Structure formats: C-alpha cells, structure tokens
Amino acid sequence: MSYPEARYLGENGENSGVFRPASAPPDLIMRPDGTGTNVHHLATGASTHGHFGLYRWEMGPRPSGPSPHFHRTMTESFYVLSGTIRLYNGERWVEGTPGDFLYVPEGGVHAFRNESGEPASMLLLFTPGAPREAYFEELAEIAASDRELSPEEWTEVFSRHDQYMV
C-alpha cells in the first residue's frame, strides 16, 4: 500500500483547520424529551470535500437503533465512547463498550442498538463523505411528526439514502 496521489500542491501549506468545541450543541435532536438521540455533525461530507463524514451519536436511555442493513456506496465505522451499544457485524451481536470499534465495508450487513436502559455515545464515520445528515434529519422529522410510513414509503426513504434493509 502506498500514499495516494497528492491533492494539495501548494508550497507552504495553508491555515484551513476547523475547530469544533466539545461544548457545541447538537446539530440534530431526534427526540426533544431527552430520551432520544442527539447528533453532532463533527465533519460532514460537504465540509471534508466528500472524503468522510464523522458524527457523534449520543443515544438516550430509550431503546433505539436501526435494524440490520447495508450500504452500497460507503463504509461505516463505529467507535464506542460511553455506555454499552450492541453492535452487529453481519454474523452476531456484541456488547460494545468504551474503546470498542467496528468497521463495515461497502455491502457489509450491520446494525447498532442501545438496549442498556442507560445513555450511550459513539462516533460514526462514513467514507466517502455521503450526505448522511439529510437522512438523519428526515428520520427526526418522521419521528417528531408521529407519521406512520408504509413499508413501501420506508423502502423509498431508505433507497434515497443508500440504506438497504435485510
């Protein structure tokens, strides 16, 4: 394995780093009653020129998380920061605790859930940087409106966001 082709060709570097303090409020609140998930858009695909998307996912005590699924266009990685998060690698569920990591390549079946009854948090990394925040915002809107989607409507939402349920 070697380094990729150079993408920056300047001579002296540039001042282009972006700092986000840990105290920044969440960009998206999935359930405003404090029992749902808060999402921090640490680095979106737009802000990284499509290279990656990084999100801090703070799950409340209420059981939550997607069913097993896969993506055709991107990888997904999970790094547990706090609490216990069940991680599915396509073969089995494991109890992920702080410091545990799961990488899933394109096409890899995976899922995650917080079923501990306690808050838990993790980092989600997508490569390349797909516009996942639009998907998260749509899920939040559906939940906030108490809208009931038909299986066909869910399939349409998922397919627009490269999410294929198994």
Identify the CATH number of the domain in which residue 85 sits.
2.60.120.10
Structural domain boundaries enclosing 135: 28-165
Amino acid 143 reads A
In a domain, 153, yes or no: yes
In a domain, 118, yes or no: yes
Is pLDDT at 34 greater than 80 in this prediction? no
Is pLDDT at 32 greater than 80 in this prediction? no
Q: Average pLDDT of the chain?
A: 95
pLDDT tens digits, 92-106 = 999 999 999 999 999
Give percent above pLDDT 90 in the chain. Answer: 91
- Of the candidates 68, 117, 115, 60, the one whose C-alpha atom is nearest the C-alpha of residue 88 is 68
pLDDT at 33: 76
In a domain, 5, yes or no: no
In a domain, 95, yes or no: yes
In a domain, 109, yes or no: yes
Angstrom CA distances, 157 to 23, 85, 92, 109, 151, stand at 32, 25, 26, 18, 10
Q: Are 62 and 36 in contact (CB under 8 A)?
A: yes
Angstrom CA distances, 50 to 15, 74, 78, stand at 20, 11, 19
In a domain, 19, yes or no: no
Q: How many domains does the chain have?
A: 1
In a domain, 126, yes or no: yes
In a domain, 14, yes or no: no
